[in-house]
Chains A and B, each alone.
Chain A
Amino acid sequence: MFGLKLDMACEIPDKYYSLEDYEKAEPRWCPGCGDHSVLTNIQKLCREKQLDPAKTVFVSGIGCSSRFPHYMKTYGFHGLHGRAFPVASGIKFRRPDLDVFVITGDGDCCSIGAGAWVHAIRYNINMTVMLFNNEIYGLTKNQTSPTSRVGTKSNTSPRGSILPPINPLQTTLGVANVSFVAQTVDWNPAHLYATLNAAHEHKGFSFVHIVQRCPVFQPDLVDEFTSGKDAFHLIKNENGIVLDEKAEKTFKNSVEHDHTDINAARHLAEHENGKFYLGLLYQNKEAQCYDDYGAHNLGFTAEQKMSVLNEELDKRAI
């Protein structure tokens, strides 16, 4: 007979998690900040995937976006500036049952945490990483970030910043064992959701670069982004991030791209002629996951551990 077994038919989850089950404190981000939009979409993602809040951990560093874990009704770790990656790696290393998300900002990731960032890419531990890049330090009130464009005026570069910005996509794509790189924007919910969903589906270090506006300290960027609609090109690939027709129509331009081709991905990451390519730039499903090694010998009993100790002591017995 086809169909479900009788006993399976009744297997309805004991608990259905609704959006409220993931909502904690009222976010204290500024009105108009894109962080709100990411939070909403993440909560939606959690509900769609019915993630167990007790087995979901949001890890962050320090900065505006790093307040994120406080607004999720899941486990959270709001740690040190620039150090979300080592903490998240330690959490996931021997807990394959946990779903780990990392929230980091452009200062947190690309400046103080740059060393940890590079190595986290290489470890390729299974986690969903969101880099909120608004190209400015917000929480400490308007300082230049390593991703600020040349000429950015801030409290630390009142005459305009002079160094070219770090391109987080290029940097990520330059590290050995990179496995997933995508780019999205905070003001297009459909694309944002689809991108986060694809990142979560990927096994490995899924890096999502979220282009953002800071309504308080980067008001000029807002104009640039909105008036520069032509700048945004949708990456299309039937095996990549696929939008529905309606959502696709929000983009004027698109480009076909093979996300298994790292050189092509690096080319798109260049932002040549001021173009931003949104979607999946690169994916390698075969990359080595360090957490597979980390979890290769779980669950030893006290007796097993004791017997190794006794063997080792015997080797040094007189």
Chain B
Amino acid sequence: MSNDTMTTPAVKSQNTKAKIIGEHILEIVSDSGEGAQKCGQSFASISAKMGNGVWTVEIIPAEIQPPARTREGASGIRVRVGSKKITNMGNEADLLVAFNEQVPYSRIVQNAYREGTVMLLESKWATHSSEEVKEKYASAVEDFKRQGIDVREIPMEVECLKLVKNPRKGKNMWVLGMLSHVYQRDLSRAEEQVRYVFKKKKDEVIEANLGLLRAGYQWASDHLDLIYEIPVLPTEEKLVVMNGNEAIGMGVLAAGIEVVSMYPITPATSASHYLADVLDRAGGVVHQAEDEIAAIGFAIGASYAGKTAITITSGPGIALKTEFIGLAAMAEVPLVIVDVQRGGPSTGLPTKVEQGDLLAVLYGQPGDSPKVVLAASTIEECFQFIVLARKLAETFRIPVFVLTDANLATGQQPFPRPKAEKDWFSPPIDQSPWKEGVKPFDWNMETGLSRRPIPGQAGGIYTLTGLAHDENGIVSYNPDNNQKTSELRSKKLATIKKTLNPPVIHGEESGDLLIVSWGSTLGAIEEAVDQAIALDAKVSTLHLRFLSPMEPGLKEIFKRFKKVLAIEINYSDDAKAPYVDEENRRYSQLAWILRAQTLVDIDSFSNVKGQPLQPKIILAKIKEELNIK
């Protein structure tokens, strides 16, 4: 078949020179099931293995098979790749691969593209048998051009048909080949990646996909004048690359956890998929419970019996687990709970990012229910915080939350290979014989800490109860006892706080504006702040990892700045909205806590659009706050 089947031939020049760039953002969008994500993840892995910095964000529709060629059904991935470490998804994409002309619209409403963005668009719709499809295609192409998008029509399916009967399966690998040439990826690494992706498939499937990969690569070489080179900075450091949910799974391995008790919920489930595959070999078991409540109950039972246990869920699951979380706090059962946050309230935005569970996690239980809350801000921290959480849970006999979100869950980023320490895998508690006479709640009156006996330890026999109880675990309605034991449970947080260092400020130690944040917004905020600092703005940022207890010294830090602004992805009232005034304004969640803890008049800036914050939005806010034009 010759090039004359193409509606608009992609420009080709034999002498195309590689354009050297520091970084690029590319997106691949398709109908659900066409494999855009697999293509993008593979591209990211190849790039990371070549030594580039990488960050990925998945674009996931809520349905498994939404109608084809619809704007809301768009499924895909964004890959930001650069010479240096990449910490967030960035602003508008530089290059887009679209499998049809409708799916880009779902991203246009999110301001994902700019003038000059290159669109590599499947051209088969131009010659489709349906007049309606043809018309829609032609008008969309016109529309894209009007918006300044550099549209290149690509005969993806036509080319794939030369090799396979059903191009719907495999077109993504042809695209991977094309992108591998555009970005000068190592073809041998790309082939290695294809073999890895299809490792569970038959040889002929692998060969077919390798063929498509090579054909896409060759086609781009013959027909496309786009070649980018993203230089690699040499590094001695050993790196690993994975997404946030896999990092949680590896954290579970690293923490020596034996029982993972879960119920399927988006976007947390893939952590358990990974563990279901691997934990068996590491001396643990994944239990898929009948519901969210049973999942945590099972984990608490296992922990009570001396087995390290974790439950992994998302916001709606946290709501259901509330009563058991209170029991774990009251009866002092160590437990790690992971909340991969999604948009709420209720079922909300199941596949989209939000940081909306902070207050629910902190204050969701009736009565006072002290617990530790950690928030991971990078993929690496998804790993490290599981190990840390397990230690804190055991040492302080307390439930420990690790908050991540939908952005971290599916985002891939390389990070230094963790060096496993033997201590991470030690058994949960000292299982030497229980000393006769030592009580099951032998509280240290200053710290609130106590050792716990587990079944099997003679002398430690007690009945755990969620009722108020004394140091013997005996039910007690004594007024002074309830006051005292409430204090003891609370004191554990004050004790932990004494072990923490003040958080490190990114930027100057004082100035006009301090941005306070937590979770996955770290990279975007620091990038925006660095850009503002380059414009001479006196702005710094402080990113919190401990949300209960809070890291120390915050009030003192806040006082050194003229203004403190919390930026996060959860709802807050706009201060200028009708009827909103100083007394009734509802702040973003971190701002509420910080205002209460420090009595500093902290402002908040947040939105709930279901996507990660772009650095440019944060930069615009900084400029507005500091009157920078």
- Most interface-central of A57, A75, A90, A97 (chain B CB within 10 A): A90
Q: Are A317 and B302 in contact (CB under 8 A)?
A: no
Specify the chain A residue showing the minimal Cβ separation from B307: A94
Specify the chain B residue showing the minimal Cβ separation from A24: B463
A267 interface contact, C-beta 8 A: no
A146 interface contact, C-beta 8 A: no
Segment among B419-427, B487-495, B511-519 that sits at the interface with chain A: B419-427
Residues of A within 8 A of B304 (CB): 77, 87, 90-91
Query: How many angstroms from the CA of A94 to the CA of B305 in the assembled complex?
Result: 9
Within 8 A of A (CB), among B274-328: 278, 280-285, 287, 289-291, 293-295, 297-307, 309, 323-324, 327
A312 interface contact, C-beta 8 A: yes
A80 interface contact, C-beta 8 A: yes
Query: How many angstroms from the CA of A222 to the CA of B414 in the assembled complex?
Result: 71
Segment among A224-232, A249-257, A294-302 that sits at the interface with chain B: A294-302
Q: Are A318 and B239 in contact (CB under 8 A)?
A: yes
A115 interface contact, C-beta 8 A: yes
Q: Are A70 and B465 in contact (CB under 8 A)?
A: yes
Q: Are A54 and B461 in contact (CB under 8 A)?
A: yes
A176 interface contact, C-beta 8 A: no
Specify the chain B residue showing the minimal Cβ separation from A74: B461
Query: How many angstroms from the CA of A97 to the CA of B287 in the assembled complex?
Result: 20
A98 interface contact, C-beta 8 A: yes
A174 interface contact, C-beta 8 A: no
Query: How many angstroms from the CA of A73 to the CA of B458 in the assembled complex?
Result: 11
Q: Are B455 and A91 in contact (CB under 8 A)?
A: yes
- Most interface-central of B258, B295, B303, B467 (chain A CB within 10 A): B258
Distance from B438 Cβ to chain A, minimum over Cβ atoms (Å): 14
The count of chain A contact residues (Cβ–Cβ below 8 Å) is 59
Distance from A311 Cβ to chain B, minimum over Cβ atoms (Å): 8
Residues of B within 8 A of A304 (CB): 282-283
- B309's partner among A55, A83, A90 (CB-CB below 8 A) is A90
Interface string of A288-318 (1 = CB under 8 A from B): 0000011011111011111011101100111
Interface string of A48-59 (1 = CB under 8 A from B): 000011111111
Residues of A within 8 A of B461 (CB): 53-54, 73-75
Query: How many angstroms from the CA of A300 to the CA of B599 in the assembled complex?
Result: 50
Q: Are B253 and A79 in contact (CB under 8 A)?
A: no
Given known contacts A119-B290, A308-B282, A89 and B238 CB-to-CB distance under 8 angstroms: no
Interface string of B445-462 (1 = CB under 8 A from A): 000000000011111111
Distance from A130 Cβ to chain B, minimum over Cβ atoms (Å): 17
Q: Are B420 and A306 in contact (CB under 8 A)?
A: yes
Q: Are A83 and B290 in contact (CB under 8 A)?
A: no
Query: How many angstroms from the CA of A299 to the CA of B258 in the assembled complex?
Result: 10
Q: Are B462 and A78 in contact (CB under 8 A)?
A: no
Query: How many angstroms from the CA of A27 to the CA of B45 in the assembled complex?
Result: 64
Query: How many angstroms from the CA of A53 to the CA of B303 in the assembled complex?
Result: 19
- Most interface-central of A56, A299, A302 (chain B CB within 10 A): A302
Specify the chain B residue showing the minimal Cβ separation from A62: B466
Given known contacts A302-B425, A305-B283, A318-B414, A93 and B298 CB-to-CB distance under 8 angstroms: yes
A8 interface contact, C-beta 8 A: no
Distance from B536 Cβ to chain A, minimum over Cβ atoms (Å): 37
- A97's partner among B289, B291, B456 (CB-CB below 8 A) is B456
B51 interface contact, C-beta 8 A: yes
Q: Are B463 and A93 in contact (CB under 8 A)?
A: no
Residues of B within 8 A of A116 (CB): 290-291, 293-294, 297
Q: Are B259 and A98 in contact (CB under 8 A)?
A: no
A88 interface contact, C-beta 8 A: yes
- A98's partner among B238, B258, B456 (CB-CB below 8 A) is B456
B49 interface contact, C-beta 8 A: yes
Specify the chain B residue showing the minimal Cβ separation from A97: B456
- A90's partner among B302, B420, B460, B462 (CB-CB below 8 A) is B302
Distance from B394 Cβ to chain A, minimum over Cβ atoms (Å): 15
Query: How many angstroms from the CA of A77 to the CA of B440 in the assembled complex?
Result: 13
Residues of B within 8 A of A300 (CB): 282-283
- A94's partner among B246, B256, B259, B420 (CB-CB below 8 A) is B259
The count of chain B contact residues (Cβ–Cβ below 8 Å) is 68
- B240's partner among A74, A78, A87, A316 (CB-CB below 8 A) is A316
Given known contacts A87-B304, A91-B455, A308-B282, A313 and B240 CB-to-CB distance under 8 angstroms: yes
Specify the chain B residue showing the minimal Cβ separation from A53: B461
Specify the chain A residue showing the minimal Cβ separation from B254: A309
Q: Are A119 and B294 in contact (CB under 8 A)?
A: yes
Given known contacts A308-B253, A312-B253, A316-B241, A90 and B425 CB-to-CB distance under 8 angstroms: no
- Most interface-central of A25, A58, A69, A79 (chain B CB within 10 A): A79
Distance from A112 Cβ to chain B, minimum over Cβ atoms (Å): 10
Q: Are A70 and B475 in contact (CB under 8 A)?
A: yes
- Most interface-central of A69, A119, A293, A297 (chain B CB within 10 A): A297
- Most interface-central of B51, B238, B425, B458 (chain A CB within 10 A): B425
Distance from A310 Cβ to chain B, minimum over Cβ atoms (Å): 6
Q: Are A90 and B259 in contact (CB under 8 A)?
A: yes
Query: How many angstroms from the CA of A76 to the CA of B261 in the assembled complex?
Result: 21
B553 interface contact, C-beta 8 A: no
Query: How many angstroms from the CA of A88 to the CA of B305 in the assembled complex?
Result: 10
Query: How many angstroms from the CA of A55 to the CA of B306 in the assembled complex?
Result: 12
Residues of B within 8 A of A119 (CB): 289-290, 294
Distance from B186 Cβ to chain A, minimum over Cβ atoms (Å): 13
Q: Are B290 and A78 in contact (CB under 8 A)?
A: no
B6 interface contact, C-beta 8 A: no
Q: Are A86 and B289 in contact (CB under 8 A)?
A: yes
Within 8 A of B (CB), among A13-33: 24-25
A44 interface contact, C-beta 8 A: no
B417 interface contact, C-beta 8 A: yes
A95 interface contact, C-beta 8 A: yes
Q: Are B465 and A309 in contact (CB under 8 A)?
A: no
Q: Are B294 and A310 in contact (CB under 8 A)?
A: no
Given known contacts A95-B305, A119-B294, A317-B239, A83 and B324 CB-to-CB distance under 8 angstroms: yes
Distance from A88 Cβ to chain B, minimum over Cβ atoms (Å): 6
Q: Are A75 and B465 in contact (CB under 8 A)?
A: no
Distance from B298 Cβ to chain A, minimum over Cβ atoms (Å): 4
Interface string of A79-116 (1 = CB under 8 A from B): 11001011111111111011000000000000000011
Residues of A within 8 A of B420 (CB): 306, 309-310, 313
Interface string of B257-272 (1 = CB under 8 A from A): 0110100000000000
Of all A-B residue pairs in the complex, the 3 with the closest CB atoms, nearest first, are A90-B301, A300-B283, A76-B463
* 24 contacting pairs across A/B (C-beta < 8 A): A52-B458, A53-B458, A53-B461, A76-B463, A76-B464, A77-B304, A79-B327, A80-B297, A83-B323, A85-B297, A89-B298, A90-B259, A90-B261, A91-B304, A95-B455, A97-B456, A115-B294, A116-B290, A300-B282, A310-B420, A316-B242, A316-B246, A317-B239, A318-B241
Using A78-B464, A87-B298, A91-B455 as known contacts, list a sample of 15 further A-B pairs with CB atoms less than 8 Å apart, ordered by residue number in A: A54-B458, A55-B455, A55-B456, A56-B455, A85-B294, A86-B295, A87-B300, A119-B290, A296-B285, A304-B282, A305-B425, A312-B253, A316-B246, A317-B239, A318-B49
